[in-house]
Amino acid sequence: MAYKEEHLAYILEDLEQKPRDIIAIVGPTCTGKTDLSLALAQELKLPIINADSRLIFAEMNIGTAKPSDAELGLIQHCLINIKKPNEQYSAGAYRDDFDICLKELGGRAIVVGGTGLYLRSALDNLDMPDIGRDIELREELKAMELDVLTKMLDQFDPQAREDVDMKNKVRVIRAIEIVKLSGKPLSQNRSKKTENRYDAAYYGLNFKNRKTLYDLINKRVIKMINKGLIHEVEALVEKYGVTDTLMGTIGYKEMIGYLQGHYSITEGRKMIQKKTRVYAKRQMTWFNQNPNLRWLYHD
């Protein structure tokens, strides 16, 4: 989606009044963050650091709406395509990589993405749990049905529903793993320290009418399928197998289900659209917790 000139002008004027070394362009999916950040980066001659958890992974392009090679070539980008789809990644790892990347870039950058947990971990000083993975426990949990897992998480940590996508089996398993290994609720594992790690300017993109956003999401999913999402998922499964990363990503999980014959392509498409709309709502919940964020609205 094309950015609005008035949004770019507002940000440039605001930064002229109060310059910042880190400028964060955030918001739910499908709101034009990529286009605005590219225009801003070229105006300010600053590199871009990705803050979208799915763009971390190479070869996952269509289903993540990853910027094109041409767009990536316009300006220096960091933390895109640094992991394979059969590798693990976390908010804690992102924070460490962010620090290294920002230092290499000279301490100034535009941070762009919609993964609130990553942004809060790297910029706002959300204290992430240093908890590893219990392979035996994870395999035991994988064998259980999702409804059993959600009941288990509710029993261990009733408040976890506020932070976890309870329809995403991979995320539910990780939440149970953190709670069981730490012996503490998820909220206590993700506590906010007093001072932010960096002084960033936050600008959020959104729509005045949520229905407009949902309509764009529905259309984007259709475009992804038409561009070859099924073939992309098929190739990734053939190369890497059905990995936790693929199963934990909206669009890829549903297309795997379609390829396995569990439902039709139409049903799969509707599932992706619905889950993406729910995800967008959860993104807004994350970003609305930031009192320093200024929303810029599309009509």
* Least confident stretch, 38-47, 176-185, 200-209, 279-288: 176-185
Domain formed by 210-280, architecture:
Orthogonal Bundle (1.10)
Determine the pLDDT at residue 249. 96
What pTM, to 2 d.p., does this model score? 0.82
Determine the pLDDT at residue 155. 84
* Average of per-residue pLDDT across 269-274: 98
When the pLDDT of each residue in the chain is averaged and rounded to a whole number, the result is 91
Least Cα distance to 129 among 117, 137, 139, 140 occurs for 117
The CATH number for 5-128+193-208+284-298, chosen from 3.40.50.300, 3.10.580.10, 3.20.20.370, 3.90.1150.10, is: 3.40.50.300
Q: Structural domain boundaries of the chain?
A: 5-128+193-208+284-298, 135-189, 210-280
Determine the pLDDT at residue 115. 95
Determine the pLDDT at residue 145. 86
pLDDT tens digits along 128-143: 655 667 777 877 888 8
Residues in the chain: 299
| Predicted confidence band of residue 238 (pLDDT cuts 50, 70, 90) | very high
Instruction: State yes or no: pLDDT of 214 exceeds 80.
Output: yes
The answer to whether 157 and 175 are in contact (CB under 8 A) is yes
* Average of per-residue pLDDT across 145-171: 82
The answer to whether 89 and 54 are in contact (CB under 8 A) is no
- Locus of tokens 């890497």: 240
The CATH code that applies to domain 135-189 is 1.10.20
